[in-house]
Structure 1
Amino acid sequence: MTNSDDISGYVYNDSQLNCSHEYLLPGLNSILHSLKSAPRIFELGCGNGSVANELAKQGYEITGVDPSEQGIVFANKHYPKLKLFQGSAYDDLAEKYGQFPVVISLEVVEHVYFPRKYAKTLFELVEDGGTAIISTPYHGYWKNLAMALTGKMDAHFTALWDHGHIKFWSFKTLKTLLKEAGFKKISFHRVGRIPALAKSMIAVGKKR
């Protein structure tokens, strides 16, 4: 496995949901309910286990990995019944955990150094006919313009956050990444605020 210290410096202070989940979870739940698929889900980048715990409450069977040792310690301590382990998108996860009808990865792709390796692992984890659900901060013309006009570009694209966001995705670039990996029928949903100023976007890709 790639040294986790090299790829994850994200700090967790507890095992609770964060403010982004206020808009991510309703969007995710809406998509999951529309799939009507088997209840098995793999979470690539499960962090402190808070999202996995919310999904488990709804009856989903969750398996997940995260490169953060600190995050997994919180997850295992507070959600001991969940199958959450230390690991990364640079590992052969499908070989170790198998394939799943649904794979989710929330607010992860903007942190990865090798997005094509991440997308390949994502694709391999999804079983034939299955679905991948990926969220990342939204970037588009009107939102970027609004940030420029209000002087918020430095804060949003800060270079001072160790292990922070290093990739800034648009519909076009994220769709290209997922298509290269082999996903089909890629669609997008915007969540948080009005669509033009959305906080995040959720991509849904099919493996067929």
Structure 2
Amino acid sequence: MGDIHIIEELRNQLPKKLKEVKRVTWFLRGYQLNDLGHVTHLSISKFGLQGQWPKALFKLEHLEFLDIQDNEITAIPTEISNLKSLKCLDIRVNQLSSLPTSLVKMPMLEKLYLGDNAFQKIPVVVGSCPSLCTIDFTNNLVSKGCEHLFNSKTIKNIYLKQNELTSFPFHLTEGKNIEDLNLMENQVSNIPEENKNIANLLY
């Protein structure tokens, strides 16, 4: 059975009109169906949610990509773990300062975009997400907690541009083979002259 009935429920919970699109992009809002009638992509950025998550969203068990930027969101509900197929969560430009521990129950989550929020530290939970590869904290208030990133066996791309870092645990990159580490627009004073474990270091 497809997700059309869930879409109708979702429409009733959203303040703006939701339409089907053939290919969801960052500037085109709506939902995308696969050949089985399952919603795989949903973009409801700037939808005027005022921090409220529509409950029907958590029924979309085939959802792979969710863009929920710029909706005055202050917290991610624990029910986010119902989205077992989710690969990418884009929740930039909101008011988040923490993450739910239920993220560890999302086996497919690879990309987590948290830029332009209110994080002051890296949450412990990011190091336990089983498939997380890319994490973005650009333009937050992060000053500590970076060591938690290296508890992960999968994180390869770390974006910390424009935060409040004064140091970074480079010694923990040993054996991690980090592809991208962006520390631009911070005040990190312990940049090593050479680090073979980071392919692309920006500072």
Higher helix share: 1
TM-score normalised by L of structure 2: 0.31
Higher strand share: 1
TM-score normalised by L of structure 1: 0.30
